[in-house]
Amino acid sequence: MGSRSRLAGFVGAAALALLAAAAHAQNAPPAGTVVDGSLKGKTLTFVSYGGIYQDGQVAALKEFVDKSGVKLLNDGPTEIAKLQAQVESGNVTWDVVDTDDFPPFVHCGKLFQKLDLTKLDISHIPAGQVGECSVPAMNYGMVLMYKNDKYKDNPPKDWKDFFDTAKFPGTRAIDGSGSPLGGLIEQAILADGGKVDAMTPADIDKGIAKIKAIGPDTIFWKTGAESQQLAESGEADMIIMWTGRAMTAVKNGAAYTPVWKDWLVVMDQLTIPVGAKDTDASYALINAYLGKKSQEILTEQTSYSPINNEAQPKVDASVAAFLTNTPDHAKLGYQQNIKFWVANFAAASDKWTALMAGN
Amino acid sequence: MSQTSHTPTAGGDHPRPSGAVQGPQPRLRLATYPSLLAMPALLLLIAAMGYPLLTVTLRSFSDPAWGLQNYVWFFSTPVNVTVLLRTFSIAAWVTIVCVIAAYPYAYLMTAVGPRLRLVLILCVLVPFWVSGVVRTLAWVILLQDSGIINSVIRLFGFDGVKLIRTQTGVVIGMAQVLLPFMILPLYSVMRGIDLRLVQAARSLGARPARAFLQIYLPLSLPGVFAGAIIVFILSLGFYITPALLGGPRSTMLSTLVQSQVLSLLNWGRGGAMGVVLLVATFVLLALAAPLMRQRHKQASRS
Is the omega angle on the peptide bond into residue B52 within 30 degrees of 0, that is, cis? no
Contact B165 A216 (CB under 8 A): no
Listed as ranges, residues in chain A with pLDDT below 50 are 1-7, 10-11, 14-26
Check residue B15 and give its pLDDT: 46
Contact A353 B78 (CB under 8 A): no
The pLDDT tens digits of the residues spanning B215-248 come to 999 999 999 999 999 999 999 999 889 988 988 8
Query: A253 CB near a chain B CB, below 8 Å?
Result: no
pLDDT classification of B272: cutoffs 50, 70, 90:
very high
Check residue A135 and give its pLDDT: 97
d(CA B115, CA A329): 65
Check residue B2 and give its pLDDT: 41
Q: In chain B, which residue's Cα lies nearest the Cα of A346? A: B264
Contact B255 A356 (CB under 8 A): yes
Residue from A306, A350, A353, A339 nearest A105 by CA = A339
> Average pLDDT over chain B, rounded to whole?
86
* Minimal C-alpha gap between B145 and chain A (Å): 7
Check residue A359 and give its pLDDT: 63
pLDDT classification of B136: cutoffs 50, 70, 90:
confident
Check residue A27 and give its pLDDT: 64
Contact B248 A218 (CB under 8 A): yes
Query: A88 CB near a chain B CB, below 8 Å?
Result: no
* Minimal C-alpha gap between A76 and chain B (Å): 14
- Dihedral over alpha carbons A194, A198, A202, A205 (to 10 degrees): 50
The pLDDT tens digits of the residues spanning A61-91 come to 999 999 999 999 999 899 999 999 999 999 9
B61-301: which CATH topology?
MetI-like fold (1.10.3720)
Interface of chain B against chain A, CB under 8 Å? 77-79, 82-83, 140-141, 144-147, 165, 243-244, 247-251, 255-256, 259-265, 267
Q: In chain B, which residue's Cα lies nearest the Cα of A236? A: B145
Chain B interface, mutation test: which of A218, A350, A352, A355, most B Cβ atoms within 10 Å?
A350
Check residue A264 and give its pLDDT: 96
Give the one of A80, A219, A346 whose C-beta lies nearest to B165's C-beta. A219
Phi then psi for A96, rounded to 5 degrees? -135, 130
pLDDT at B12 over 80: no
Domains and CATH numbers, chain A: 2-32+40-139+267-315 (3.40.190.10), 140-266+322-356 (3.40.190.10)
ipTM, interface predicted TM-score of the complex: 0.78
Contact B146 A235 (CB under 8 A): yes
Give the one of A81, A357, A359 whose C-beta lies nearest to B262's C-beta. A81
Chain A interface, mutation test: which of B265, B266, B267, B273, most A Cβ atoms within 10 Å?
B265
Mean pLDDT of all residues in B60-83: 94
Which residues in chain A are closer than 8 Å to B248, comparing Cβ atoms? 218, 220, 355-358
Q: Which residues contact A163 (CB under 8 A, 6 or more apart)?
A: A187, A188, A191, A192, A210, A211, A213, A214
pLDDT at B80 over 50: yes
Strand, helix or coil at B57? Answer: helix
CB-side exposure of B73: number of CA atoms within 13 Å?
17
Q: How far out from the chain centre does Cα B217 lie?
A: 20
Which residues in chain B are closer than 8 Å to A79, comparing Cβ atoms? 262
- For chain A positions 171-230, those within 8 Å of chain B (CB to CB) are 178-179, 216, 218-220, 222, 226, 229
Contact A235 B244 (CB under 8 A): no
Q: Which residues contact B100 (CB under 8 A, 6 or more apart)?
A: none
Helix (H) or strand (E) holding A242: strand A238-242
CB pairs under 8 A between A and B: 64
pTM of the model: 0.81
* Minimal C-alpha gap between B280 and chain A (Å): 20
d(CA B188, CA A115): 62
Question: Could you tell me the strand order of the sheet in which A96-99 lies?
Answer: A71-75, A43-47, A96-99, A256-271, A135-147, A238-242, A172-175, A219-221
d(CA A283, CA A33): 12
SS3 content of chain B, % helix, strand, coil (to 5): 80, 0, 20
The pLDDT tens digits of the residues spanning A150-208 come to 999 999 999 999 999 999 999 999 999 878 999 999 999 999 999 999 999 999 999 99
Contact A356 B251 (CB under 8 A): yes
The type of residue at B184 is L
Give the one of A80, A178, A353 whose C-beta lies nearest to B256's C-beta. A353
Contact A178 B263 (CB under 8 A): yes
